[in-house]
Amino acid sequence: MNDKTNTLKSAIYGLAVGDALGVPYEFKSRGAFECTDMIGYGTHNQPEGTWSDDTSMALATCASIKACGRVDVDDIRDRFRRWLKEGAYTPFGEVFDCGNTCAAAIRSGRGCDDEWSNGNGSLMRIIPLAFVEGITDAEIEAVSAITHAHSLSKLACVCYVRIAIDLVNGVSLAESIKRHVPGNSKLSGAIGIENVLRSDGMGSSGYVIDTF
């Protein structure tokens, strides 16, 4: 097993653990809870350690890339359909949470591209692409656009993947953000984020800008 495979596993485990920590608190307002351990039976009444749609769709993406040997948007979309309809890639064979944009796009076969379809759904599942050799911005955008096809969501995914690649290669987070986040974009608030305090009013909603 090479270092890149080990790092991919670490990224996916990190995603799943963080996801499972957050599932019991989803939709709760900021400051209304304190998470100190893995618990269950919160917002979605799921056992502790249960991951959500975000990890399921990341796992579906990994499975597709492994099976196809490349980024195949149609195959990834088909695996998303299996997840939504059959509970594939879920802990217990059932889907208990799915964002409106993801559900609508998967059922219609067309990514949502209106301004109101800029939730964090594609950003939360895009990390596997950071481990695809030679991944292009167009491929990242195409995978985002399976569900989230607005230019803002696609840009967030491209920036995130490029930053993740840099981090794997030892570049500092601050330097990578400067490299990849356009200063004239809606994501520019991330530049200098190492100096931003919680009290400065950083958003924590499901809006793709807040999540990024």
Structural class in CATH, domain 3-211: mainly alpha
Q: Which residue carries 């949502």 as its tokens?
A: 112
Q: What's the pLDDT band for 2 if we cut at 50, 70, 90? A: low
Are 20 and 51 contacting, i.e. CB atoms less than 8 angstroms apart? yes
Residue 1 has pLDDT above 60, yes or no: no
Hey, which bits of 30-183 come out as E strands?
none
Summarised one tens digit per residue, pLDDT across range 52-75 is 999 999 999 999 999 999 999 999
Q: How many CA atoms lie within 13 A of 142 on its CB side?
A: 12
Q: What's the pLDDT band for 200 if we cut at 50, 70, 90? A: confident
Mean pLDDT, range 108-137, rounded to an integer: 96
Angle between helices 3-22 and 53-68 (to 10 degrees): 160
Cα separation values, 206 from 8, 30, 91, 181, Å: 25, 12, 23, 20
Cα separation values, 122 from 35, 37, 126, 179, 200, Å: 25, 27, 6, 22, 27
Task: Select, from the ranges 15-19, 26-30, 196-200, the one with the highest average predicted confidence (pLDDT).
Answer: 15-19
Are 117 and 150 contacting, i.e. CB atoms less than 8 angstroms apart? yes
Are 153 and 118 contacting, i.e. CB atoms less than 8 angstroms apart? yes
- pLDDT of 169: 94
Cα separation values, 140 from 34, 162, 183, Å: 34, 10, 20
Q: What angle do CA 73, 50, 124 make, to 5 degrees?
A: 35
Domain locations along the chain: 3-211
Q: Which residue carries 């009013």 as its tokens?
A: 201
pTM: 0.93
- pLDDT of 70: 97
